[in-house]
Amino acid sequence: MLMLASRSPRRLDLLRQLGLDPECLDVEVAERRQPGEPALDYVHRVAREKAGAGLLAAASRPDAVVLAADTEVILDGEVLGKPADAAEAAVLLRRLSGRRHEVATVVWVLSAAREGSARSVSTVDFAPLSEAAIAAYLASGEWRGKAGGYAIQGRAAAFIAHLSGSYSGVMGLPLFETAGLLRVHGVPV
């Protein structure tokens, strides 16, 4: 039985694109970068902690296969995180404007018998953004709960001049890598 250790509707939708309908687990994991922790190590650790918390929550299900992921926007080695409010989202969008950044997603799949992970790092080039474009995007509310303050699958797609990597990875779950992990765990994809 596939279980998704996430509250992300995007991850659930992406898994459904693979023909899967996982049970969702609500797990709480502190998403705080340790001093000196490299950005990619941080993403890897948080995804693993989410998967571990999910496997603990599913302990009564010996057939559970738990999938968890973490996605972060990284600019010049700094993890931008999710903005707390519109003002912080505006700051993030101004920082990304006209710049290249990375979006890293790490996926972990755990079961009682095995574990595995995969990483997807995409490069995203933002076009220069006007203050009017930023204000309109903030008014849409799409920035809420999004790493870096934007959602590639929504209105922010118009900000992206170039993407090199995984579109679904930038959304929050790289489907190619995820499908491979699930097959190893006996989940038909």
pLDDT of 121 reads 98
pLDDT of 148 reads 96
109 closest CA partner among 26, 24, 3? 3
Amino acid at site 123:
T
> How far is 20 from 85, CA to CA, in rounded Å?
33
**3-state SS assignment for residue 185:** coil
Q: What is the DSSP-derived secondary structure letter of residue 159?
A: G
Contact 110, 54 (CB under 8 A): yes
Task: Give 14-51 pLDDT, tens digit per residue.
Answer: 999 999 999 999 999 989 999 999 999 999 999 999 99
- Torsion angle (degrees, nearest 10) of CA 70, 48, 180, 169: 10
Confidence of residue 97 (pLDDT cuts 50, 70, 90): very high
Is the pLDDT at 7 greater than 90? The verdict is no
Task: Give 68-85 pLDDT, tens digit per residue.
Answer: 999 999 999 999 999 999
Q: Where are the domains of the chain?
A: 2-184
> How far is 116 from 181, CA to CA, in rounded Å?
7
pLDDT of 29 reads 93
Mean pLDDT of the chain: 96
Task: Give 113-147 pLDDT, tens digit per residue.
Answer: 999 999 999 999 999 999 999 999 999 999 999 99
Is the pLDDT at 172 greater than 90? The verdict is yes
pLDDT of 64 reads 95
Residue of 70, 76, 85, 125 marked active site: 70
Catalytic residue check, 70: yes
pLDDT of 115 reads 96
Rounded to an integer, the average pLDDT of 108-116 is: 95
CB atoms within 10 A of CB 44: 18
In this prediction the pTM is: 0.94
For 177, the token pair is 């890598």
Confidence of residue 182 (pLDDT cuts 50, 70, 90): very high
> How far is 2 from 5, CA to CA, in rounded Å?
10
pLDDT of 58 reads 93
The hierarchical CATH code for the domain 2-184 is 3.90.950.10
